[in-house]
A and B are shown apart, each in its own frame.
Chain A
Amino acid sequence: MRLPEPVEDVVVNLLRLANTKLPTDIGWALEAAAGWETGEIAGIQLGAIMENAKKAEHLGLPMCQDTGIPVFYVRGRFDSSIAKDIAKGVERATESIPLRPNAVDPLTRVNSGNNLGPGMPIIHYMPTDDEFTEISVLPKGAGSENMTRLAMLNPSDGIEGVKRFVVGAVLDAGGRPCPPTIVGVGIGGTSDRCVEMAKEALLAPIDSENPDPDLARLEEELFMDLNSSGLGPMGLGGSTTSFAVKIRKAYCHTASLPVAVNIGCWATRRATARITESGVEYAQGAVL
């Protein structure tokens, strides 16, 4: 397939879109939250968030200084050269937007300066027979990423055990992941796959419906539990703790019940480009 635009350019556009423009679904959720919050401190937090998002979009600057580690998802048709092109896009975007250089050696803590380095950028591949190449990016800041939790529950812990773990993970995180959050949950798979699913769940717009009615009900129950907790915006108290709970599921070993939580901050930044021979279409989220 001949691509109408170099992948490198598309990646720069994706990183700019994700970092400077809050996804519309989150904008609506913020406005709704500002309408029902009654506490003064919670109101100040939501007001500051909305004002900041408007300024970032207007100025074309990153809404948050933690522009994160960009996590890429590539789906459809592509060849092995795409990794190199994505890396070039990350390097150029770091300079031109600019993004904060965040990638460091984990032990020496030396910063590469360009968001690249061994193992970077992180790219997940999902080849399909579709007539498009789809590239999504989820820039993941450390405040929320550091709150990631995995539990290898016993099968006998059941759905109640899953709920207890998810609610505990979010409430124990407190204000650190910048609530109101989006809570990504993986259930099943192996330990590695479970954590991946929890993060993939954050890529879906919050108003996208879970096609599995049982999971949709579980999302709703967890949503009610979290938002009746009183944790509130920035953990300073209030009635908006999470904008949504998004769950992905896979079969697992008969002796296992893996559950993972990956939290997205209020600034859950996402952008998707679907590339076909006739052009590139941009969106801010995708259901993988």
Chain B
Amino acid sequence: MSSKDNMSPILKIFVLPASFIFICAGILTILGGHITPGGGFQGGAMISAGIILCLLVFGLEDSPIELSEDFISAIESIGALGYVILGLIGLYFGGSFLYNVGTDFYSIVPNYIVNIFHYPDVTNAGIVPYFNILVGLKVFVGLTAIVIAFMAFRSLSDEKEEEK
């Protein structure tokens, strides 16, 4: 009998709504990272905590939130490449890597570029919220992938012990 079979039905009923709220709070932390405490890493860790909670209670095979290998690699790639591409856009138009082309403090970037990369809210944050979003994507799949890998290794070792 595995550990997930020992989980009570009360815990199984509670855990997915709690994960739902955790994930929404994590998204909110990411989106408010440029004006409040928080940001991409913290919000991504909160989202990951919600998913890991489901994995611990339901187990890897029966988890209601399924992250496939292709999904994890795609989101990791989007997060890393998006960060580098935004930095290179700052290098090309502003002369320095990660220059904030959405705010353009030195007025050296064409207006149409500033309008494209300006985050649509009342603050003048420029591309900082986009960085938070990309880092949040990368962190949430990264932390979850570590736990998924540990659980998969554990199930493999359990199967080998049963064969012996």
Asked whether A and B interact, the reply is: no
